[in-house]
Structures are given as C-alpha cells and as structure tokens.
C-alpha cells in the first residue's frame, strides 16, 4: 500500500482524472437516466396509492354542504313565476347546466 500524503495526492489523482475524463459524458448520461428512472418510479408509486377508508370519511365530514335560506328560495321561485324571461333562463340552465 502506498503512503498517501497531501503533497503526493495531486500526482496520484492526476492519472485517474485523465482516465475518468474520457467517460464524463457516459457517466453524466447514466446519472441522468438513473435520476429520471427514480422519479418515474416514485411518481408511479404515488399515483397508485389509494386513500384509506378513514381518510375518505374524514374528508367527507370536513366538506361543508351549501345551505340555501328558505326566504331566498321562496323569493327566487316568486320571481321565476312572475317573469317569463326568468322562467326560460332557469329552464335553459336546468337543461344544460354547463353552458355560459
């Protein structure tokens, strides 16, 4: 085994660096492929995990259901009954709720 001093270290590493220089592009491409493959595997793992039943029920309990005031509902129905344009507007909205 050779004696490694800080003074002789550059002279020892120089031939090794010259050999590695030839393969820098191949090493770089290999590292990029490995990182890309790791990311694809992690994304695949996260995409396939299903939430537990407890997590689903907890989320459903946290959802606030919208509540409509009874007075506002009566007022809307009165306006709909009185105005023909509003009746057609509501009918169109019921027939195609995703149109603007």
For the chain, give every domain's residue range: 9-53, 61-100
User: 3-38: per-residue pLDDT in tens?
Assistant: 667 778 778 888 888 888 889 999 999 999 999 999
User: 67-98: per-residue pLDDT in tens?
Assistant: 888 898 888 888 777 877 777 887 888 888 78
Q: Half-sphere exposure of residue 62, counting CA atoms within 13 Å on the CB side?
A: 6
In this structure, the number of other CB atoms found within 10 A of the CB of residue 80 comes to: 14
Predicted local confidence at residue 84, as pLDDT = 77
């Amino acid at each position: 085994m050779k004696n490694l001093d800080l003074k002789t270290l550059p002279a020892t590493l120089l031939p090794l660096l010259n050999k590695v220089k030839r393969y820098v592009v191949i090493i770089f491409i290999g590292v990029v492929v490995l990182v890309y493959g790791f990311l694809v595997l992690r994304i695949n793992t996260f995409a396939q995990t299903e939430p537990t039943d407890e997590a689903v029920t907890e989320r459903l309990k946290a959802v606030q259901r919208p509540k409509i005031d009874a007075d506002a509902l009566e007022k809307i129905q009165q306006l709909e009954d009185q105005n023909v344009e509003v009746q057609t507007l509501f009918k169109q909205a019921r027939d195609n709720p995703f149109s603007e």
